[in-house]
Structure 1
Amino acid sequence: MATTRDRSKMQNNSNSTKAQSSYVQGPLKWAIAFTASLGAILEVIDTSIVNVALTDIQATLGATVSEVGWVVTGYAIANVVLIPLSAWLGDVFGKKTYFVFSMVGFTLASVMCGFAFNLPMLVISRILQGLFGGGLLAKAQAILFETFPPAEQGLAQAVFGVGVIAGPAIGPTLGGYLTDSLGWRWIFFINLPVGIAAVLMAIFFLPPDRVQGKKNHQKVDWLGIILLIVAVGSLQTFLEEGEQDDWFNSQFITTLAITTVVGLVLFIWRELSTKDPAVDLRVLRHRSLAAGSVYSGILGMGLYGALFAVPLFAQGVLRFTATQTGWLLAPGALASAIVMILLGKISTKVDARILIAIGAVGTALVMFQLSNITPQTGTEDLFYPLLWRGATTVLMFLPLSLATLGSLPKQDISAGSGFYNLTRQLGGSIGIAILTTLLAQREAFHKAMLLTNLSPYNPETTQRLNALAGAFQNRGSDAATAQQQALTSLDQLVNLQAAILSYADIFRFVGVVFLCSLPLLLLLGKGGAGAKAPIDH
């Protein structure tokens, strides 16, 4: 009996040693972590860095508001199309080769953006930048999961998560500073030295590609790739352009919606029926990935939705400049980075569902606090809520990554990571589309409600108009001009109050979404606290 126990113990030790040896050892693994994360950080920052420079770009290149919007839309569409294909491309060309190729392409495309002499060239360059960048985000996370053993996944994913969480806040800060100081072209040129450093690090530090044998010679699923481009590209365009074109009142948007549904159905059928799919949807058989991807979409809605609403409120209502808005978001980004590193040390020891629940409730409370905004709200009123938002969001992001991907077999990590990152990106786009529409609708509603109380027969309205007209007359205006100025001023006050009330509704909506997402946690695994080491086949 003792002999059997000893043999069993020796066998377990042998398996454990074998599993451990399949991961990178020593300082090299941290060099790999920093290299992979640097590529992801560049991609995420470039998603938002251009937003604050659109007005300058429009003026320089002589574009309309709708035309310059494609500088953002083109990047987003290309990004979401490539993310699910990144696993297949990594298998065909090799993970290191594909990552280096994507990094080189992203850097060169950034330079092309900086040198763009007209809008078409800038949009094409941004599309190329999005195509190359899509390979960096999902591939970086997959590289980390394949490099670090389960016990160290928390810290490794924390390094990656710092960029993904803080990037949307760093982007406007950096973009505003560069645009105001050096001009909008430098928001692209700044990628050149960082990109060169990332390429050199990837060449030196990333492990060489393994020979995949038959996998490298599998058939290319061209039909699946075309259907993916049609479906996801149409969906992203639908989300980006819907509000501007009044949704289904536009034939273009309606056509995009139909194309999206038909394309997705055909794409799913194709990928599940072919032997060599471009996107392996069969990885969704893992319950942790399926549930985690759904929650990732909700996280994307809240993360990018809140970061979308705050700058709009700061610039549209508080009249902040791009640089001031960036600095408003900076403390939250710093809080995210600090909490991410601290959480990385304990996340593998605590049930992920508990951490995610704390983060969701905490973020919801922050959103409800932000909904108390008034015309007198200033930087000091937003400082602590945004600081706490940065900290609580991390409590969802890092544990969710571990709970979703940590227990997947090694051969499914790349495909799983691509799908997981895709849902977060699409969740962000869906969240922004919903919030944009909701913002416009609620603003119109509140304005109508406020105007019902404004009437020439209402003594309070008459008294307010007379007070305003008297103030303008004291400044030198004649009676007729003062009366017109008073009406204009009152209209501006109504618009301001309607805008504030609509933003309050937006913040409350995001808070409710996070609270309603809590039941989904029952479908997740324990993550770092209960995940087994990935199986290496």
Structure 2
Amino acid sequence: MARTQTRHKASDKAEPGWLKWAIAITASLGAILEVIDTSIVNVALTDMQSSLGATITEIGWVVTGYALANVILIPLTAWLGDYFGRKTYFIFSLIGFTISSILCGFAVNLPMLIISRILQGLCGGGLLAKAQAILFETFPPSQQGLAQAIFGVGVIAGPAIGPTLGGFLTDNLGWRWIFFINLPFGILAVVMALTFLPGDDKNHKPISNKVDWLGIGLLAMLQQGAAQRAIALGCLQAFLEEGEKEDWFESGFITTLAIVSVIGLVLFIWHELTTDSPAVNLRVLRHRSLAAGSLYSAVLGMGLYGALFAVPIFAQSVLHYTATQTGMLLFPGALASAVTMLMLGQITSKIDPRAIIAGGGILTSLVMFQLAGINPDTSSDDLFYPLLWRGVGTVMMFLPLSLAALGPLPKQDISAGSGFYNLTRQLGGSIGIAVLTTLLAQRQAFHRKILVEHVTPYDDATNQRLSMLESALQNRGEDAATAHQQALQIINQTIDTQAQILSFEDIFWIVGVAFLVTLPLLLLLGKRKPTADLPSAH
């Protein structure tokens, strides 16, 4: 413990005002690169598929591989930063992320692209958690709100900016440019990190020279058991990503993933709590603020990323928007998030964070209930204000929760706490998407079954509709038999569309209710005394 405190001695010194903000921009730039690349590929998958001759399932691993690598690395960032030095590890992650991005752009086949994306995810995992830890270690509590606001702009706006940027680059330059675009920004981030980040203590020695290989191996078991599908992919994340496609526990593959994940989780927790030199320091959960904040962070990730996932699917599958149009639909909400983040950063340290989070949860619930009124005639204008207010509500929950969970921690625990906190949000998002994907399919099947029961040859409304369609088709030159067949297809498509819309309405209602019923979790955070000048915790 003494060595840990010695290590942070340099960072405890007050940095000049301009240097602190240069450090904030540098760290946040790395985080923004990582977050945007989580979603930028989504709109380019079709182009990648045709270019590389892949199936839909195979090209999906371009997204899954990146997410799996992220989840594997995030819990290890605190140990890696301590072992190699904070600045050294952050710069290494930036360089690795940039080089792997170039490899993705030059990929000549699908295996090369997937492997490059996994490398990109491994390096990117070190950017997100480490950037947040750097900010908490650099700024005093009175300025942490604004510093975390700068960081949060990328984390919140990134998932919306990614599809917008990805759609533009793919439509105008080709899918490879969604990776090449990282080169200039990666070089800029490396130069800024070399210039502004405080140097590592040359006399610093890691807390322990012993490498916890067993802990890392158990973490790999927890996250990497799906080798029969791809190289080094995580069991837990793969379970969440692939469960709906494989019909969950009806599949032996998914059942195996679930069993290995549970065994790996139990052994991993037991080992990390009993070893003297853990790879992932779970003892930081003794801090009530971190334990409660991480729990709510998982819930937050489930709702926020799950809801954000549902809107583009509705826009493209029901409203028939293009990738660029879908990105532009989400862009105003991303701007609202950025503006709200900077405004809230000025005042959040002076207000009980639980009140702000509760307000954000209620606002987001109201937005979800409004979105539940969607229909085939819903336009981009109808979605503008709900998505705008969703961006505001997101920030009202994200920023105060980060401060409430990590702010009270002593500096020697910030890095480990930040890694665990970001891990719970990432896993929460994966769980949310997996659950909502399954519910969408189940509810669509349910509503279709109900609708079909009313479409029979004995129903007058059905027969009238069928006759009108047949007449219209025959007037266009179709013969009677063809007109009848096409009319039946149109009615079937109408039923499918209506069932799909009803399933989306159900999803938005479920997310809205979930935010309301989980608000009591905020009581576990405890009350922080509003102040603009708390002393630094040591």
- Coarse TM-score class (shorter-chain normalised): over 0.9
- 8 A contact 1:359–1:393 mirrored in 2: yes
Q: Which position in structure 2 is the counterpart of 1:348?
A: 349
Instruction: Tell me how large the CA RMSD over aligned residues is.
Output: 1.4
SS in 1 for 2:17: coil
Q: Which position in structure 2 is the counterpart of 1:376?
A: 377
- Structure 1 residue identity aligned to 2:385: Y
The 1:490/1:137 distance shift into structure 2, 3 A limit, reads same
Q: Which position in structure 2 is the counterpart of 1:535?
A: 537
Distance 2:92 2:376 in 1: 50
SS in 1 for 2:206: helix
Q: Which position in structure 1 is the counterpart of 2:498?
A: 497
The 1:527/1:19 distance shift into structure 2, 3 A limit, reads farther
Which of 181, 185, 194 aligns to 2:185? It is 194
Q: Which position in structure 2 is the counterpart of 1:302?
A: 303
Distance 1:161 1:474 in 2: 58
- 8 A contact 2:361–2:393 mirrored in 1: yes
- Structure 2 residue identity aligned to 1:535: A
- 8 A contact 1:83–1:421 mirrored in 2: yes
- 8 A contact 1:23–1:146 mirrored in 2: no
Distance 1:236 1:230 in 2: 12
After superposition, the C-alpha distances for 1:59-112 in whole angstroms (9 at most, x for unaligned) are 000000110010001000000110010000000000000000000000000000
Equivalences for residues 445-484 of structure 1 within 5 A: 445-484=446-485
Q: Which position in structure 2 is the counterpart of 1:442?
A: 443
Distance 2:193 2:55 in 1: 40
- 8 A contact 2:208–2:277 mirrored in 1: no
Distance 1:293 1:533 in 2: 24
Q: CA deviation at 1:532?
A: 4.8
Q: Which position in structure 2 is the counterpart of 1:258?
A: 259
Q: CA deviation at 1:410?
A: 0.3
- Structure 2 residue identity aligned to 1:29: K
Equivalences for residues 276-295 of structure 1 within 5 A: 276-295=277-296
Gapped regions of structure 2 (runs ≥ 5): 1-8, 224-233
Equivalences for residues 36-75 of structure 1 within 5 A: 36-75=27-66
Q: Which position in structure 2 is the counterpart of 1:275?
A: 276
- Structure 2 residue identity aligned to 1:518: L
After superposition, the C-alpha distances for 1:475-520 in whole angstroms (9 at most, x for unaligned) are 1111111111100000010001001000111111111111111000
2:146 is aligned with 1:155: yes
- 8 A contact 1:150–1:528 mirrored in 2: no
Q: Which position in structure 2 is the counterpart of 1:168?
A: 159
Equivalences for residues 36-435 of structure 1 within 5 A: 36-211=27-202, 213-215=204-206, 217-232=208-223, 233-435=234-436
Distance 1:529 1:67 in 2: 51
Distance 1:138 1:29 in 2: 18
- Structure 2 residue identity aligned to 1:138: A
After superposition, the C-alpha distances for 1:376-414 in whole angstroms (9 at most, x for unaligned) are 111111110000000111000000000000010000000
Q: Which position in structure 2 is the counterpart of 1:9?
A: none
Distance 1:528 1:81 in 2: 36
Q: CA deviation at 1:319?
A: 0.3
Distance 1:22 1:349 in 2: 24
- Structure 2 residue identity aligned to 1:493: T
2:27 is aligned with 1:27: no
Distance 1:512 1:124 in 2: 40
Distance 1:46 1:212 in 2: 36
Distance 2:37 2:400 in 1: 25
- 8 A contact 2:12–2:137 mirrored in 1: no
Distance 1:21 1:243 in 2: 48
- Structure 2 residue identity aligned to 1:148: F
Work out the percentage of aligned pairs sharing the same amino acid. 71
Q: Using structure 1 for the length normalisation, give the TM-score.
A: 0.95
- 8 A contact 2:11–2:138 mirrored in 1: no
Distance 2:500 2:520 in 1: 33
Q: CA deviation at 1:526?
A: 3.5
- 8 A contact 1:406–1:528 mirrored in 2: no
Distance 2:35 2:527 in 1: 28
Equivalences for residues 12-23 of structure 1 within 5 A: 22-23=13-14
Q: CA deviation at 1:210?
A: 2.1
After superposition, the C-alpha distances for 1:514-533 in whole angstroms (9 at most, x for unaligned) are 11110001001335726954
SS in 2 for 1:167: helix
Distance 1:21 1:330 in 2: 38
- Structure 1 residue identity aligned to 2:459: N
- Structure 2 residue identity aligned to 1:363: T
Q: CA deviation at 1:20?
A: 10
- Structure 2 residue identity aligned to 1:475: R
Q: CA deviation at 1:447?
A: 0.3
The 1:344/1:250 distance shift into structure 2, 3 A limit, reads same
Distance 1:21 1:477 in 2: 80
SS in 2 for 1:263: helix
Distance 2:74 2:11 in 1: 29
Distance 1:100 1:214 in 2: 19
The 1:151/1:31 distance shift into structure 2, 3 A limit, reads same
Number of aligned positions between the proteins: 519
After superposition, the C-alpha distances for 1:350-390 in whole angstroms (9 at most, x for unaligned) are 00000000000000000000000111111111110000000
Distance 1:70 1:189 in 2: 20
Deviates more, 1:209-218 or 1:342-351: 209-218
Distance 1:213 1:35 in 2: 23
- Structure 1 residue identity aligned to 2:165: L
Q: CA deviation at 1:216?
A: 5.7
Distance 2:194 2:290 in 1: 31
After superposition, the C-alpha distances for 1:271-318 in whole angstroms (9 at most, x for unaligned) are 011000000000000000000001001111111111100000000110
